[in-house]
Amino acid sequence: MAPGVSARPFSEAVPGMSPELIVAIGLAFIALGSGLVRAFEVVHDARGRVEKLVKSRIAQLDRIRKAARTSLHLKRSIKEAEQRKVTTEEEVERAVASLETASDVDHRVFVLDDRRTKADQNWVATVAHPTFEQTINHMALQEAVESWHRGRRFLVYALDAGKARDKVLARYPERQGYQVVSIEVQQLPKTKSSMF
């Protein structure tokens, strides 16, 4: 205590207050303080839960975005794979058609003879025989009969169309029923074996 100040009880310092009222006010302040502390704790806990929920929501949104990106990438990959599949199927169809065309009997060219001079040209003569199975070979396979009916193509080396015709008729004479349907000059690709 400071000198000159006398110590008096609190109830005397505040005239008209009873000690019970002072205790009640003190208890009220303690209860108010305790309530404020509890309220701050609840607010702090609530703030922590809100922050945790916000972080959880952000993480969930990140996972959703990542899944969406992955889904978009997979969708693009599937679309590209489907396009490659369609392209590959088309290429296979073209290759099969090309093989079927190449193996078709009508596209074969038989070599009549391989004697050739430098001045000779390449001629393709189509020779048919409408009664092949009756006059030439009655035991021929149906495929051979049909190819003679349609006409077989022969590569002939000659100076001109007349000489090419003569070579064909020497091998397949008209008196036996063979017919020269056409003779056309043909440019064949040069190979090592056909070059002089």
Q: What is the pLDDT of residue 196?
A: 43
Per-residue pLDDT tens digits of the chain, which is 196 residues long: 556 655 555 555 556 677 788 888 888 888 888 888 888 898 889 899 999 999 999 999 999 999 999 999 999 999 999 999 999 999 999 888 877 766 665 678 888 888 888 888 999 999 988 888 777 777 778 887 888 888 889 999 999 999 999 999 999 998 888 889 899 888 755 555 544 4
Give the Å distances, CA to CA, from 21 to 14, 54, 157: 11, 48, 138
Tens of pLDDT, residues 127-136: 988 888 777 7
Whole-model pTM over 0.75: no
Using CB atoms within 10 Å of the CB of residue 177, give its burial: 0 to 12 exposed, 13 to 18 middle, 19+ buried.
middle
Q: What is the pLDDT of residue 156?
A: 92
Q: What is the pLDDT of residue 99?
A: 78
Please state, as a whole number, how many other Cβ atoms lie within 10 Å of the Cβ of residue 148: 21
Q: What are phi and psi of 149, to 5 degrees?
A: -65, -45
- What three-state secondary structure class fits 38? helix
Q: What is the pLDDT of residue 58?
A: 92
Q: What is the pLDDT of residue 75?
A: 94
Q: What is the pLDDT of residue 84?
A: 94
Token pair recorded at residue 176: 């036996």
CA atoms within 13 A on the CB side of 89: 6
Distance from chain centroid for Cα 85: 5
Q: Does residue 161 contact residue 183 with C-beta atoms inside 8 Å?
A: yes
Q: Does residue 161 contact residue 101 with C-beta atoms inside 8 Å?
A: no
Q: What is the pLDDT of residue 29?
A: 84
User: In angstroms, rounded to a whole number, what is the distance separating the alpha carbons of residues 58 and 93?
Assistant: 52
Burial of 77-92, coded b for 16+ CB within 10 Å and e otherwise, reads: eeeeeeeeeeeeeeee
Using CB atoms within 10 Å of the CB of residue 116, give its burial: 0 to 12 exposed, 13 to 18 middle, 19+ buried.
middle
Q: What is the pLDDT of residue 66?
A: 93
Please state, as a whole number, how many other Cβ atoms lie within 10 Å of the Cβ of residue 126: 18
Annotation: CATH topology of 106-190:
Ubiquitin-like (UB roll) (3.10.20)
Q: Say which residue the tokens 């004697």 belong to.
A: 115
